[in-house]
Amino acid sequence: MKIDPHLTPKHSTWLVILLLASIFAGGCGAEEKAAARKATDAEIMKASQALAPIKAQLKQALVSSMQEHGPVKAIDACRLEAPEIIQAAAANGFEVGRTSTKLRNADNAAEGSLATWLEFHQSTPNSDVKHAEILPDGKVLYAEPMFVAPVCLSCHGENIPTEVKSELDRLYPNDQAIGFKENDFRGLIWIKL
């Protein structure tokens, strides 16, 4: 199935949702049947509204830490504060995470539909399509693509400052999340609620 590049993001969102729903509908297990219900507009809206402040908090933590302490110390903003912000969301009953095909932390590896959605973005890197599905347990899984902004480059770019690189190598000996350029697809941020 080909996605028309002229479709608006909203239309292409629906196409992806329908595409995924049809893949699940093709399965034979009861769980796959249950996953076939597509998320309603209201469910998608609720998930994107719940994710918005978390995204803003992550960005704020990163930007202010970069400004105040520089990129080496700011590593903790992406490494420690990110999980903290993400865990705080759990207090509201949400589960939140980030994933990518080029991982820095292997704990962030994608499973299930997140892996399928990542594949979609690998082959369609400029698409800003958002994804949603109803999981077998009735929860909504919603994900948005993240793109590389200038502020990301000192830790994920092509010319990472030496002292940042050596700290990253120390913390993440198998780091794959480098070599990105501005506007590259970096990964997905997701919420389950």
Residue 105, interface with ligand HEC (CB under 6 A)? Answer: yes
Residue 104, interface with ligand HEC (CB under 6 A)? Answer: yes
Q: What are phi and psi of 124, to 5 degrees?
A: -130, 65
Residue 157, interface with ligand HEC (CB under 6 A)? Answer: no
Residue 191, interface with ligand HEC (CB under 6 A)? Answer: no
How near is the Cβ of 8 to ligand HEC at its closest, in Å?
24
Nearest to 20 by CA among 118, 110, 128: 118
Q: Mention every residue, 6+ apart, whose C-beta is less than 8 A from residue 161.
A: 71, 154
Interface pick for ligand HEC out of 21, 151, 184, 192 (rule CB under 6 A) = 151
Helix (H) or strand (E) holding 191: strand 185-192
How near is the Cβ of 7 to ligand HEC at its closest, in Å?
25
* CA dist., res. 154 & res. 135, Å (int): 37
* CA dist., res. 99 & res. 108, Å (int): 5
The stretch among 11-19, 97-105, 113-121, 135-143 that binds ligand HEC (CB under 6 A) is: 97-105
Give the footprint of ligand HEC on this chain (CB under 6 A): 62, 71, 74-75, 78-79, 82, 98-100, 103-105, 108, 146, 148-149, 151-152, 154-156, 177, 186-187
